[in-house]
C-alpha cells in the first residue's frame, strides 16, 4: 500500500476533460470508480471482530452507503475478503482455499489484532496474522476495532481499487507476491 | 452416598490398587495404580455404587515428579445421588500408555483422543486414536511442559518490549 489516502463518499469524478454535454476520462479511472462503489464483501467472521463487523453492516453505521450492500457468501462472487477474528492454524488452509477461490480483482482486509498479528493469542494453536498465508491489503487495528475503523479500512480498499491498475493481476509485483505465498 | 462409604468399598475390593486418597474441597480423589484403573472404573460403573456417568478425562504433566510425570484424570458421577469421584493415575513420560475405557463409556472416545492430542498419552485398545482438536500437522503434543506456550513465529514481540 502506498500512502494513506482517504476518499470521500461525495468524491468528485475522476480527473478528465469535460465540456458542454460530455465528459472524457481514462477507462481505468472510470472502471476503478465503478468498482470501488460496488465492492461485494465476503465476511469471514470467527470471533468478536465479527460482532463489530455486524454492527458496521447494520443501519447505524451502514456499510451499504459505500456500495457494499450485498454480502457475498460465495467466494466466487466476492471482491473484498473481510477476515474478522482469530484464525487458528487448523483453519489456515481453509482461509487460503477461500482466498484462492475468489476471482480477480480481489482485496483482503485483516480486521482486528488477531487477524493482523495473532493478537493476544500468542500460542501454539493460533496463526500469528493472516499475512502468513495470504496477502493482505488493509490492516484494521483494534481489539476489536470500532465499526468506524472497519469502515475506514473499507474506504482504504475503495481508494486502492480507484488508484490501482485494472490489470493488477498481470503486474510482476503481484505475480511475485502471489508466488511467495504459493498461490497461482 | 458418602466419601467414606465409597472409599471403603473401593479399598475392600482393590486393597492394593489405591496408592493414596484425599478429599480436597470434599471431593473424593484417589490415586490408582495404572494397571488397575480400568478395573476400578468398571467396578464403579457396574456395582451397586452406580457411578456410571463419565464427566471428563484429561491429562496432566508434572515434569518435577520423576517417574510420575504424566497423569490421566478421570471424573465420574452418580447422577441419582449426585456423588462425584475423581481418579488419578500417573506414569513415566517415557512410556505413557494406559488402557482405554471406550468399551465401558462410548463418550470416552473423543475425551481420550483429546488427551492423546495434547499430552501424547496412548490409550491401549482405543479404536481410532487420532488427533482431534489440533492441526494434524502440528507434530507435537503442545500441553507437555517441555514446549513453550508462545508461538515462535511471532515477529512483533521483541526483546525490548516483551523480554524475548
Contact A112, A118 (CB under 8 A): no
Q: Which domains does chain B have, with CATH numbers?
A: 3-148 (3.30.460.80)
The answer to whether residue A2 sits within a structural domain is no
The answer to whether residue A70 sits within a structural domain is yes
The answer to whether residue A1 sits within a structural domain is no
The answer to whether residue A15 sits within a structural domain is no
Residue length of chain A: 184
Q: CATH code at A37?
A: 3.40.50.12280
Residue by residue, pLDDT tens for chain B (164 residues) are 899 999 999 999 998 999 999 999 999 999 999 999 999 999 999 999 999 999 999 999 999 999 999 999 999 999 999 999 999 999 999 999 999 999 999 999 999 999 999 999 999 999 999 999 998 888 889 999 988 888 777 776 666 666 55
Interface test with B, best of A86, A120, A124 (most B CBs within 10 A): A124
- pLDDT at residue B2, rounded to an integer: 92
Q: What is the pLDDT of residues A45-60, one digit of tens each?
A: 999 999 999 999 999 9
All cell numbers assigned to A27:
477507462
All cell numbers assigned to B104:
465401558
Phi, psi of B95 (to 5 degrees): -135, 80
Q: Model's pTM, two decimal places?
A: 0.84
Nearest-CB residue to A124 (from B136, B151, B155): B151
The answer to whether residue A21 sits within a structural domain is no
Q: How many domains does chain A have?
A: 1
The answer to whether residue A17 sits within a structural domain is no
Minimal Cα–Cα distance from B2 to chain A, Å?
42
| Band (A3; pLDDT cuts 50, 70, 90) | low
Nearest-CB residue to B151 (from A90, A92, A126): A126
Domain extent at residue A86: 30-180
Q: What is the pLDDT of residues B50-82, one digit of tens each?
A: 999 999 999 999 999 999 999 999 999 999 999
- pLDDT at residue A7, rounded to an integer: 57
- pLDDT at residue A9, rounded to an integer: 53
Residue A41 touches partner B, C-beta closer than 8 Å: no
Q: Which residue has the cell 465492492?
A: A39
Residue A100 above 90 pLDDT? Answer: yes
Average pLDDT, chain A: 89
Mean of the pLDDT values across residues A22-31? 88
* CB spacing of A122 vs B155 below 8 angstroms: no
Q: Rounded to 5 degrees, what angle do the CA atoms B152, B153, B159 make?
A: 65
How many CB contacts within 8 angstroms connect chain A with chain B? 34
The answer to whether residue A160 sits within a structural domain is yes
The answer to whether residue A64 sits within a structural domain is yes
Amino acid at each position: 500500500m502506498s500512502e494513506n489516502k482517504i476518499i470521500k463518499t461525495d468524491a468528485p469524478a475522476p480527473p478528465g476533460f469535460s465540456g458542454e454535454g460530455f465528459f472524457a476520462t481514462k477507462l481505468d479511472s472510470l472502471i476503478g470508480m465503478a468498482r470501488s462503489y460496488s465492492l461485494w464483501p465476503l465476511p469471514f467472521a470467527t470471533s468478536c471482530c465479527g460482532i463489530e463487523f455486524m454492527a458496521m453492516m447494520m443501519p447505524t453505521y451502514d456499510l451499504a452507503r459505500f456500495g457494499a450492500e450485498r454480502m457475498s457468501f460465495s467466494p466466487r462472487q466476492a471482491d473484498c475478503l473481510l477476515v474478522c477474528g482469530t484464525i487458528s492454524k487448523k483453519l489456515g488452509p481453509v482461509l487460503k482455499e477461500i482466498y484462492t477461490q475468489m476471482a480477480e480483482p480481489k482485496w483482503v482486509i485483516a480486521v482486528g489484532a488477531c487477524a493482523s498479528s495473532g493478537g493476544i493469542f500468542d500460542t501454539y494453536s493460533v496463526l500469528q496474522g493472516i499475512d502468513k498465508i495470504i496477502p493482505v491489503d488493509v490492516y484494521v487495528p483494534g481489539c476489536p476495532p470500532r465499526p468506524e475503523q472497519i469502515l475506514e479500512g473499507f474506504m482504504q480498499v475503495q481508494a486502492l481499487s480507484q488508484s490501482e491498475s485494472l490489470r493488477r493481476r498481470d503486474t510482476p509485483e503481484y505475480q511475485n507476491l502471489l508466488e511467495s505465498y504459493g498461490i497461482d | 452416598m458418602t466419601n467414606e462409604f465409597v472409599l471403603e468399598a473401593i479399598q475392600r475390593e482393590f486393597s492394593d490398587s489405591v496408592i493414596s486418597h484425599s478429599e480436597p474441597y470434599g471431593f473424593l480423589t484417589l490415586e490408582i495404580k495404572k494397571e488397575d484403573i480400568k478395573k476400578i472404573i468398571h467396578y464403579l460403573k457396574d456395582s451397586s455404587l452406580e457411578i456410571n456417568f463419565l464427566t471428563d478425562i484429561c491429562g496432566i504433566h508434572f515434569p518435577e515428579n520423576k517417574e510420575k510425570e504424566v497423569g490421566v484424570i478421570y471424573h465420574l458421577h452418580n447422577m441419582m445421588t449426585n456423588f462425584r469421584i475423581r481418579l488419578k493415575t500417573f506414569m513415566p513420560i517415557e512410556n505413557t500408555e494406559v488402557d482405554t475405557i471406550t468399551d465401558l463409556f462410548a463418550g470416552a472416545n473423543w475425551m481420550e483422543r483429546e488427551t492423546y492430542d495434547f499430552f501424547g498419552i496412548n490409550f491401549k485398545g482405543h479404536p481410532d486414536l487420532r488427533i482431534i482438536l489440533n492441526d494434524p500437522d502440528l507434530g507435537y503434543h503442545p500441553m507437555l511442559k517441555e514446549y513453550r506456550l508462545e508461538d515462535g513465529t511471532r515477529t512483533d514481540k521483541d526483546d525490548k518490549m516483551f523480554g524475548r
